[in-house]
Chains A and B, each alone.
Chain A
């Protein structure tokens, strides 16, 4: 082995994704180290969700390469899926089943040993223990999203992909969500987050990337930019004739 160092968490080279005639991603190169947290900004249609989907193995790239923990998505997809947890504004929960039944289903799919114990653990993590046996459809949006986070951390993923996770949540729910996400990982959890909220995003993450029309328009550390400067950079990166 030439390179003895541990593989990078995420390595994207030349990623393109075309839907019909519309290129959603036009060549993305991105490197994210283990334990880093990166926020992706960009206007609607910039390709943020497509990028998350490609990383989550939900959408197959038109061209380019994605390595997660050194594993190529093309041939080691199933191994990659064990290491990633996905959160989006979709809850990925079945409305007619209870929280417990949902988590039990996913626990089987993710091959989690001692299911019952783990389910109770994550339920406690998101403070949903008392409502665990209620139908998901009967829960408020905030509670559903909390359960969704529980589902996402069930298998203790080392990488989490969060596509606008705070949509429609109140302060309390947001607090719980983030403590669950950061909670068990001892700082080794890699995060990729998309959000429209510039301040919030840069407060939560180490690095930021601005996507515009399928390309990376800006990349840098969040500590380098204060709120005003960030807004300026965002405006100029996403101007119409960028």
Chain B
């Protein structure tokens, strides 16, 4: 097996193992939380998904900066792949937040600081992916997307600030607050690791796909 294949399978194996461990810990091992009951277990998926959504955007930001600086399309491939994965995780974040809110608060949506920021992040992700379709050619699309990626990244913390300030003046249902017992912390960390590895796996697969697409396009061009 090639070096790249070997590392690929190793990572895949690690991710699978971590997920098995995480699932066991979330559903079998960690004790049920007092206040919210079984539903609280969603927390162990919601927070990691949350983390990956923001991590993915950070990678979009880095890829965008390097692409504009170096003009190497591989950075754009990285950024775009991360953007596609990121929007999926942001969607998951909104969904898990929603699933959590319904039984606890009785509402499908709460303008909780983190969820609202996630909503805006989701919209920025959409902008990031959509602007490529609006551009007149792929390279311009990559350039414009990089601009959106950079602007968006600076935007998200400011959005979070604004919404947090709003929430302190209009308190309402909050998705999660409060300390963690050691067993909960351990479960959370394992789940975090699992989802992060999943992100890396998906990122690499998507980038490999993209690379193949580019090679194909180049071949086609040289035949013409």
Q: Which residue of B lies closest to A213 (CB)?
A: B224
How long is the Cα–Cα vector from A15 to B139 in the complex, in angstroms? 18
How long is the Cα–Cα vector from A153 to B139 in the complex, in angstroms? 34
| Interface: B212 (CB within 8 A) | no
Using a Cβ–Cβ cut-off of 8 Å, how many residues does chain B contribute to the interface with A? 9
The stretch among A18-26, A143-151, A154-162, A185-193 that forms the contact with chain B is A18-26
How long is the Cα–Cα vector from A19 to B221 in the complex, in angstroms? 13
- Say how far B139's CB is from chain A's closest CB, in angstroms: 4
- Say how far B223's CB is from chain A's closest CB, in angstroms: 13
Q: Which of A20, A23, A62 contacts B140 (CB 8 A)?
A: A20
- Say how far A239's CB is from chain B's closest CB, in angstroms: 15
Q: Which residue of B lies closest to A60 (CB)?
A: B71
Which A2-45 residues sit within 8 Å CB-CB of chain B?
18-23
Q: Which residue of B lies closest to A22 (CB)?
A: B137
Between A and B, how many residue pairs show CB distances below 8 Å? Answer: 18
| Interface: B217 (CB within 8 A) | yes
How long is the Cα–Cα vector from A20 to B139 in the complex, in angstroms? 4
- Say how far B170's CB is from chain A's closest CB, in angstroms: 47
Query: Are A21 and B221 in contact, CB atoms less than 8 angstroms apart?
Result: yes
How long is the Cα–Cα vector from A201 to B139 in the complex, in angstroms? 34
Residues of A within 8 A of B218 (CB): 21
How long is the Cα–Cα vector from A19 to B217 in the complex, in angstroms? 13
How long is the Cα–Cα vector from A143 to B71 in the complex, in angstroms? 42
| Interface: B138 (CB within 8 A) | yes
Q: Which residue of A lies closest to B140 (CB)?
A: A20
Which B183-224 residues sit within 8 Å CB-CB of chain A?
217-218, 221
How long is the Cα–Cα vector from A94 to B137 in the complex, in angstroms? 27
- A-to-B contact residues, CB < 8 Å: 18-23, 62
What would be 16 A-B contacts, judged by CB atoms less than 8 Å apart?
A18-B139, A19-B137, A19-B139, A19-B140, A20-B137, A20-B138, A20-B139, A20-B140, A20-B141, A21-B137, A21-B138, A21-B217, A21-B218, A21-B221, A22-B137, A23-B221
Which 10 residue pairs of A and B lie closest in terms of their CB atoms, listed nearest first? A20-B137, A20-B138, A20-B139, A19-B137, A21-B217, A19-B139, A21-B221, A21-B138, A18-B139, A22-B137
